[in-house]
Amino acid sequence: MDEELRPFAESVDKRFADWVFRHNARRATAFSPEQMEWLRLIKDHIASSCRVERDDFDYAQLAGKGGLQRAWSVFGGQLDELLAEMNEELVA
């Protein structure tokens, strides 16, 4: 629980920035611009829905960018791990 009441989307934005920084620090290379674009879309979805699932890639902005198939090609085998990590880190 936070000490102060603030909009959920604002908390998600802050947690997202912290998560990306920590994640990039552990990798040999940072996320690519295309990966960051996808991560921001996923973050926005989490901010409005409190989590993201594979099925969510059939809706709205995620589908408009190519949906689950495109996300798989951008992140490869890391997509499920990233989704789980983002659900945990951004909503916690």
| Structure confidence by residue, pLDDT tens digits, 11-54 | 999 999 999 999 888 887 889 999 999 999 999 999 999 999 99
Residue-averaged pLDDT of the chain: 91
Q: What is the pTM of this model?
A: 0.88
Q: What share of the chain is helix, strand, coil (3-state, %, to 5)?
A: 75, 0, 25
87: pLDDT strictly greater than 70: yes
Give the per-residue pLDDT at 58.
94
Give the per-residue pLDDT at 6.
74
Q: In terms of pLDDT, which residue wins out, 76 or 33?
A: 33
Give the per-residue pLDDT at 1.
53
